[in-house]
Structures are given as C-alpha cells and as structure tokens.
C-alpha cells in the first residue's frame, strides 16, 4: 500500500500541490461565502429590517405626523459608556497596526541568520490586509460609492431616506455610508490576528479577542448605524482579504508555522 501511494504521488504531483494549497482554498471558500451572503441579503431584504427593529424604540411624534411617518430612536446609541467603548474599538485596529509596524521595522534591524523571515512575513500580511481591506476596500470604495443609507437615516426608523438593499448602488447617502461596516471590518481583522499569536499566549487571548471582535460588530447593529448585512459582510471581508494575503505569500518554505 505504501509503495502504491508513493507511485501515485510520483505520477500525480498535483496531489502534493493540492494538499499544500489550503490557504488558496480557504480564500476562495470565504470569497464564495461572502457573495452568497450578499445574494441572500439582497433577495431577502426583510432580514435587515427585522434585525434592526429589535433595537429600535417607537415613540410619539412631537409634530403632527404625515401618513406613514415613523418616530423613534435606537436607545443604545444614547448610552455614554457604550459610546466610549465604541471609540476604543474603533481605534484598536490602528493601535495594533502601529505596534506591528514598529515590530516589523525591528525585524529589519537584523540581517543574515538573525533575520526572522516568518515573523516579518506575519507582520506584512497583517499590515497589508488592514490597508487593503478595512482602509481601502471598505472605507474608500464600498462606503464611498455604494450610497446605502444607515438604518437611522431611513424612513423605517425615523429618517428621511428610502431603504436600500444590500449591494445596491441606488441609495441617496452621499458619504460615509452604511455598506459595509468599517468598524466590523476592523473587528474582523483583529479576529484574524489570532492565528499569528504564538502558544501559550494564543489560548489565553483568543477568546477575549474573539469576544471584542463580535461585540464591536454587534454594537454597530444595536446603534442603528448599520444593518445586519453591513456588519456580517464587513466582518467577513477582512477574513477574505486576510486569507488572500496568506495564499499570495504562501510557499513551500512558508510551511513552517508563522507566528508573531
């Protein structure tokens, strides 16, 4: 049986390549999942409205309401302590990025045998995926040109703009729009870094980092700042970009565990 396995590998080297191609398969799997979820939310827009309604409180309009007008607010949006936590979560990815940039620079203080290739690669993957995903793709492309109003801006939740399905460019939002959530994307990036944390520290910090990542994303929904689709697709977009960077930089020499 062993000789047959050796023969099959000799005759079919693609089997070895396929076994070492996990990062590429992960990237395409996550990318397909992203598009499938976008299609789901686009075809069934009531999912977004239903989820946001759980955090919206109706109230009596102060002025005579026009037919169909809705008055109310998102109470979590008014909580001071939650606002402070939100500011911390908003800045956390970029604080981590500054530390990573400093440590990457420190890697290049060494040369020859003392230069840690795997450590430098991990920092470059982390920084590159942050710039490409949350910074450029999310904030400078999707949020700038897709024009989807935030929940609190729409007629369904006391605003003045029409609801727009996920992925539609028909919205009237002019800047810093809802599709997708930039803060959820940053939270997703923080979650990705868990794979680079060495043991035993990973076991200690994985759960807290995951909790921060999920809580940060959920707060955007609770505040009425984003729909459920914006949060999920924003968070998942960072995993797609992160997996793509790992796949692009993967090599036979890179099979050695990469940790920071």
The number of domains in the chain is: 1
- What average pLDDT score do residues 192-205 get? 93
Tell me whether residue 4 is in a domain. Answer: no
In a domain, 89, yes or no: yes
In-domain check, residue 260: no
In a domain, 159, yes or no: yes
Range of the domain at 154: 29-62+72-255
118 touches 126 (CB < 8 A): no
Res. 49: pLDDT tops 70: yes
Number of H helices, E strands in the chain: 10, 2
Residue 15 domain-assigned? Answer: no
Rounded distance between C-alpha atoms, residue 79 and residue 218, angstroms: 15
The confidence score (pLDDT) of residue 62 equals 78
pLDDT value at residue 108: 87
Q: Does some domain include residue 11?
A: no
Distance CA 241, CA 134 (A): 9
Q: What is the pTM of this model?
A: 0.87
| pLDDT above 90: residue 138 | yes
| Alpha carbon distance 125, 249 (integer Å) | 8
**C-alpha angle 33/36/40, rounded to 5°?**
135
pLDDT at 68 over 90: no
Task: Confirm whether 79 is domain-assigned.
Answer: yes
13 is a domain residue? no
Average model confidence (pLDDT) across the chain? 88
Listing DSSP states for 32-73 in one string gives HHHHHHHHHHHH-THHHHHHHHTT-EE---SSPPPTT---EE
pLDDT of residue 169: 94
Six token digits for residue 35 = 């598009």
Three-class SS of 175-209: CCCCCCCHHHHHHHHHHHHHHHCCCCHHHHHHHHH
Phi, psi of 136, deg, nearest 5: -90, -60
Structure tokens that stand for 13 in this block: 């080297």
């Amino acid at each position: 049986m062993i000789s047959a396995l050796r023969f099959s590998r000799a005759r079919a080297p693609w089997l070895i390549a396929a076994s070492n191609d996990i990062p590429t398969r992960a990237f395409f799997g996550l990318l397909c999942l992203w598009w499938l979820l976008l299609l789901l939310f686009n075809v069934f827009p009531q999912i977004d409205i239903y989820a946001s309604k759980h955090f919206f409180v109706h109230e009596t309009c102060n002025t005579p309401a026009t037919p169909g007008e809705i008055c109310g607010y998102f109470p979590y949006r008014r909580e001071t302590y939650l606002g402070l936590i939100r500011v911390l979560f908003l800045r956390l990815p970029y604080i981590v990025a500054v530390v990573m940039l400093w440590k990457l620079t420190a890697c290049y203080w060494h040369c020859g045998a003392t230069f840690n290739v795997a450590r430098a690669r991990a920092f470059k993957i982390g920084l590159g995926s942050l710039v490409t995903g949350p910074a450029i793709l999310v904030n400078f492309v999707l949020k700038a040109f897709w024009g989807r109003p935030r929940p609190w801006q729409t007629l369904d939740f006391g605003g003045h703009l029409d609801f727009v399905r996920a992925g539609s460019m028909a919205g009237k939002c002019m800047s810093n729009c809802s599709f997708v959530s930039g803060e959820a994307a940053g939270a997703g990036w923080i979650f990705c870094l868990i794979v680079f944390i060495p043991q035993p520290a990973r076991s200690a910090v994985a759960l807290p980092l995951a909790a921060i990542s999920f809580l940060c994303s959920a707060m955007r929904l609770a505040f009425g700042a984003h729909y459920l689709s914006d949060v999920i697709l924003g968070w998942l977009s960072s995993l797609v970009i992160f997996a793509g960077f790992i796949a692009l930089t993967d090599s036979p020499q890179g099979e050695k565990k990469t940790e920071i």
